[in-house]
Amino acid sequence: MAEKTFVIGADLGGTHAAAVVVDREGNIYYQYELPVDLSHCADEVFEKSIFPVIEKVIKNSPGRVSSIGMGLPGRIDSRTGICHFSPNLQWHNVPVGPKLEEKFNIPCHVMNDVTVATLGEQMFGLGKDVDNFILMAIGTGIGGGIVNEGRLVLGAIESAGEIGHMTIVPDGYLCNCGNRGCLEALCSGPNIARRYREALERGEGELAPGLDGIEEVTAGTIQRAAAAGDPLAIKIWEETGRYLGIGIANLITVLNPDRILIGGRVANALDLFLPALLNEVRFRARMVPPDFTEIKHAGLAENAGVMGGAALALSWIEKH
């Protein structure tokens, strides 16, 4: 009988490092996570968080581990495993892949976290049954991953999929990236909260009950306020849907995917912004039949990161 294949999927974020051991079908045998302290240098983050998490999961694997895949936020060259720049982790040119291989002596693969989550959707989630899809991850920022004819679209230097930095409103808000009117500057979690606060300051509504101060407002609290019927919160989510709809219509027009998956924490409020989003897409994306493109919540939710890492590890095995 052929030996069963096990791989490690890992995910490094701004607050936690997590890992799972899975088989080819994506069954999870063990999972573990540890906090990350970003006041430490990269080497210490490896020693105190990344290495121990992966070590523990390898120890608890039911069989030999063939490969490790890890996603992390930032610009990564997946061929060399070097993270060239990560604003979230404050890393510059960290050789993540080589460090992992030296430590564990197992083939290791690293890629941008949203790209990795896209591979996860393709292998285990709602990208399984379509050849062309886009994952849009909306949280602190907005990232994306593109699959065309079953293959990841990475671009010339693996920077494709930065869909949060499409210009939506040419003279709009200044974005962290330096451009104006980016989708992220309008619809990331913190920027949804900003639009709500600014609307309050313009006198367009009252602070929702249950919130003590304007500085407490987050996308999560606006979600609860809208669910409880607060008119301003409802309006802000509709506006969010319209802006996201412009961006998604552009993606449909340029890439003609079968499906668009919306993930990340803000996707928890999907019911609140999907109707306005679909209206906008119907109005703007005229080059494909109406409602041709399915738009739905991503499939993997909180396990997207580690399952994506596992998909990256497995896809490497399939190629070798």
d(CA 292, CA 294): 6
Nearer to its own copies, 93 or 283 (CB): 283
d(CA 221, CA 265): 12
User: Which of these ranges, 38-46, 159-167, 197-205, 206-214, lies near its own copies under the rule CB under 8 A?
Assistant: 159-167
Nearer to its own copies, 2 or 157 (CB): 157
User: Which of these ranges, 21-29, 33-41, 173-181, 186-194, lies near its own copies under the rule CB under 8 A?
Assistant: 173-181
Rule CB under 8 A: which of 99-158 touch its own copies? 130-132, 144, 146, 148-149, 151, 153-158
Nearer to its own copies, 228 or 254 (CB): 254
31 near 45, Cβ under 8 Å? no
Write down the residue that tokens 């049954």 correspond to. Answer: 129
Nearer to its own copies, 123 or 163 (CB): 163
Please enumerate in sequence order all residues whose Cβ is within 8 A of that of 126, keeping only pairs 6 or more positions apart, or say none: 133, 259, 261, 296, 298, 299
Rule CB under 8 A: which of 218-247 touch its own copies? 246
Count of other CB atoms within 10 angstroms of residue 318: 8
Nearest distance in Å: CB 104, its own copies: 30
For residue 222, give the H/E element and its range.
helix 219-227
Token couple for 68: 């490790």
Q: Is 160 in the site for its own copies (CB under 8 A)?
A: yes
94 near 140, Cβ under 8 Å? no
Rule CB under 8 A: which of 247-276 touch its own copies? 249-251, 253-258
Nearest distance in Å: CB 44, its own copies: 29
d(CA 147, CA 26): 20
d(CA 233, CA 55): 45
Pick the binder of its own copies from 283, 291, 296, 301 (CB under 8 A): 283
d(CA 29, CA 168): 43
d(CA 159, CA 181): 20
Nearer to its own copies, 135 or 307 (CB): 135
d(CA 57, CA 250): 41
CA dist 240 → 148, 195, 244, 293, 304 (Å): 27, 9, 6, 19, 23
Nearer to its own copies, 291 or 292 (CB): 292
Q: Is 290 in the site for its own copies (CB under 8 A)?
A: no
Nearer to its own copies, 9 or 139 (CB): 139
Please enumerate in sequence order all residues whose Cβ is within 8 A of that of 79, keeping only pairs 6 or more positions apart, or say none: none
Pick the binder of its own copies from 170, 203, 209, 213 (CB under 8 A): 170
Nearer to its own copies, 19 or 285 (CB): 285
Nearest distance in Å: CB 48, its own copies: 31
As a residue count, the chain comes to 320
Rule CB under 8 A: which of 38-67 touch its own copies? none
Pick the binder of its own copies from 119, 165, 261, 270 (CB under 8 A): 165
Q: Is 178 in the site for its own copies (CB under 8 A)?
A: yes
By the criterion CB under 8 A, which residues form the site for its own copies?
130-132, 144, 146, 148-149, 151, 153-163, 165-170, 177-180, 246, 249-251, 253-258, 283-288, 292-293
